Structure 1
């Protein structure tokens, strides 16, 4: 049984585990409200030295910004960033997905790794900073809807007051197995829409089939996908075994009945671009590739959602400090997106580093290794000492 953090007198990691138990008990699947989790964070952070700012995003969803110390307009200090939402629990769990269970030195629950483990740690670290005082501010951002397009971070990047400069040095605590990441790919969600004309399938002279030309489009897109796997840019080396942009065909819909000529067909396309590739150029490239094979058809290509790429200067103070503390010499990039894509638009230097293995996120029996969790706290404490003292 995990006891409340407020009645425990134990180590920082024990307090983090206790708070993690409370956080995972709140179902914050992205289609649900996150307000109960924000309420919990605010209760823990209820201290005279902490400023709490709740920012509504849309119905039932909020971002939370907590600041220990005072923003002085210089950008000094440190910002910790996490998201409160999780993917659906799904089936296949040995124990309840919304109860924290320890087995063989691992903490199992939905969100234990991605990323309520870091959230709990960060909340406690801000509370501790307020209790002891800090020369430069330690701030925390907890967002909604990261798992469904980063809508919370995007709203924050647009709505945060320009005259309240946050600490520039920003740690996105996504699970990286404690490896420092300074860049990630962007993700474009694109929809190809082909219009035909309805008719009876018994008479092929009536109507215009929208599915048939989609087959030609798919064939060309698959060829382009294979071509992109050989493409390299200046940032490719940081992405190890995944050094190229990646094009994926993820969903197709068309037709309504066996005896009706389909008058509409939709194809959903995912495109993950390297940080030094321009999304608008690649949308134009896709249109150019599809034009010849869809000649004479009525069609359109629409950008449904964009998660921008993230790219932080290797020589920025935070990246250099994090690599030094962890003994890391290589530069790393990842193919998944983070809130850093939007937070960098506030002029923040973002790195991604945190305990936990991304390969177990979104899986049944997701877990956080306790030993790595404790190491993650020690690392964050060292950064706080360096940037906030």
Structure 2
């Protein structure tokens, strides 16, 4: 079995690559590609349109349909404004914990997969084992969406996938989708003493938020029977309202940042259609009656599908067998899992570390969690 020390050393190397989503991940991906190629994998490095970022897709074993996919994202969240006790990109070990940005979310899983690759390569003979390491998960799962576009035209695909997000090695079989939007209002400014002469963008933004709040209540009535999510219905949250700069000035511009977490895709379509109707039939005609140049535009920041729990699935059965778990759980956070599920792959989430440590200063991964992950991966291939 691959030693824990080897995996910890590799994790330290991966943490040293500052793969914050705003920056390139190429050096990290190239290092992983070299290691997997050395283990005998067939490796593809798929660069983004800018050429500054890349996904990695690699395969051990035969070129046949129905393999197992191990997947994780290589990017990490920023450290600016966080009070770290040590350099976040120089991993340190203290009291059984590995500290550093990305140790938990989710380079620990990637390190375990790559460190185990040489041992697995000797045993993977009948069913292929695939690796997918993506870019820009933290900013809308951009890399996974690009990878899915490239994979969907292929005849050979994995049939099951384990996404190694930090779940404390619990088997997770579902989460809601995540749709993030920024809606911008352009009205007409003016002096506050004559409100009717202008188009107050902040006020129209406030009305837009009020309609979102009405739909938030309506979504409760659309709760699917036997929904296991908490809460069981689709939620809407308004993150910010930005606009205006003085008491006596009609604000010409405003911006609403909002999100929804759909239980089913139909709820997301319902909300988008209702809000577009409200804009085109009510808000915009009123605004343009005073200011023909007025506009309302919505930018999609992120639109990631949820992972729908399967009543029966090979992925959950496999992950439970590998970990000794008795069943799957649901989580509130979003992952790339739903993107792979839409390719027809049966998907679960299971990885080392706690989501409670992700994105925080002094992010850490318990070494015991890394050991459990290695034990799971060790059971993937049949013994020689």
**So what's the TM-score if we normalise by structure 2?**
0.88
Aligned-partner Cα distance in 1 for 2:9–2:257? 42
CA distance in 2, matches of 1:122, 1:86: 18
Distance 1:83 1:280, change over 3 A: same
Q: Is the 8 A contact 2:170 2:328 kept in 1?
A: no
Higher mean alpha-carbon deviation, 85-94 vs 319-328, is at 319-328
Return the alpha-carbon distance in structure 2 between the equivalents of residues 365 and 307 of structure 1. Answer: 28
Counterparts of 1:326 and 1:85, CA distance in 2: 26
CA separation of 1:357 and 1:235: change in aligned 2, threshold 3 A: farther
Match in the other structure for 1:343: 340
Match among 50, 54, 58 for residue 62 of structure 1: 54
Q: Does 1:79 align with 2:69?
A: yes
Deviations 1:163-206 (A, max 9, x none): 34122111100001111111211111223333322223354453
Summarize the alignment of residues 234-249 of structure 1 with structure 2, pairs less than 5 Å apart.
234=225, 236-237=227-228, 239=229, 241-249=230-238
What is the RMSD of the two structures over their aligned residues, measured on CA atoms?
2.7
Structure 2: give runs of 5+ residues left out of the alignment.
Answer: 289-294
1:333 to 324, 330, 334: 330
Select the residue among 171, 191, 200 that pairs with 2:182: 191
Q: What is the rounded CA distance, in whole Å, between the counterparts of 2:61 and 2:191 in structure 1?
A: 71
2:208 paired residue among 206, 214, 217? 217
Question: Partner residue of 2:292?
Answer: none
Whether 2:91 is the aligned partner of 1:100: answer: yes
Distance 2:339 2:174 in 1: 13
What does residue 18 of structure 1 align with? 9
The SS at the match of 1:55 is: strand
Q: Aligned pair 1:144/2:145, yes or no?
A: no
Query: After superposition, what is the alpha-carbon deviation per residue over 1:17-39, rounded to whole angstroms, capped at 9, x for unaligned?
Result: 11000000110000000011012
| Number of aligned residue pairs | 374
Q: Residue 48 and residue 103 in structure 1: after superposition, are their counterparts in 2 closer, same or farther (change >3 A)?
A: closer
Q: Indicate the SS of the match to 2:43.
A: strand
Does the CA contact (< 8 Å) of 1:29 and 1:86 recur in 2? Answer: yes
Partner residue in 1 for 2:368? 371
The answer on whether the counterparts of 1:275 and 1:310 sit within 8 Å (CA) in structure 2 is no
* TM-score normalized by the length of structure 1: 0.87
SS of equivalent residue, structure 1 residue 146: coil
CA distance in 2, matches of 1:24, 1:154: 24
